[in-house]
Amino acid sequence: MVAGLAPLADKFDRKLTRNEILEAHARHESSQQRQTPAKHYQELLSIVYRRLAEEWGVSVSWDECVRYGHSVKDWPAFPDSADALQYLKQHYKLVILSNVDNESFSASNRKLGVDFDAIYTAEDIGSYKPADANFKYMLTMLKCLGIGKSDILHTAESMFHDHAPANRHGLKSCWIYRRYVHEGFGATMPPGEMPTYDFRFNSMAEMVEAHKLESSV
């Protein structure tokens, strides 16, 4: 995300910190998701890029905005994610509840190298997390697969998009706190009152190691 925003941030009259870039992006992304919940993520990101340009007083063309909107396919997976998911697939069903569109997620999925048992995107649902509609949709679809609420461990980084609504819907959750060495919430909005969670790891790799340890006891 930061790499995709570099052409815009570099035009600003001072060097923006990584956190400043991510936090500004989070504000405009969240606002636009509330305003146009059915808009595809690629199209929504194009608007976010224009809003950032306006905030920073930078001139951009719509073609530049669209280019950023289509950059999701270039965003890398975290280095440990593919191996961790491939391990977890041996023990659990894996389900994605994603805030992107289907085309964008298909590119991400190729990087992750695992076949998910179900994929639910914002495009499918017509709204973005943390909307309750996304979690209600997931729970309804999983019930069709014979998976109940008590079978789910909602695993994510974002307190705002994931753990707060997981709390509201009575789901157990696991916080992957990759930002443990940084201040703030980065590319997600602050959640307000901190949600609760059942497990916390600083990476998916740590989660896998904990599972291996527990399984060996």
Torsions phi, psi for 82 (to 5 deg): -60, -50
Torsions phi, psi for 40 (to 5 deg): -60, 145
Q: Please give the structure tokens belonging to residue 127.
A: 């709204």
Round to whole Å and give the CA distance between 72 and 105: 8
Q: Where are the domains of the chain?
A: 2-74, 81-216
pTM listed for this prediction: 0.94
Round to whole Å and give the CA distance between 32 and 111: 27
CATH code matching the domain that covers 81-216, chosen among 3.40.50.1000, 3.40.50.620, 1.20.120.80, 3.40.50.920:
3.40.50.1000
For 2-74, CATH gives 1.10.150.750
Q: What pLDDT sits at residue 216? A: 85
Beta bridge partners of 153: 172
Which positions ≥6 away from 83 have C-beta within 8 Å? 205, 208
3-state SS assignment for residue 172: strand
Helices assigned H by DSSP within 36-170: 41-55, 62-69, 81-89, 102-112, 122-125, 132-144, 164-168
Q: Average pLDDT per run of 10 along the chain, which is 217 residues long?
A: 94 93 97 97 98 96 96 94 98 97 96 96 98 98 97 98 98 96 91 97 98 90
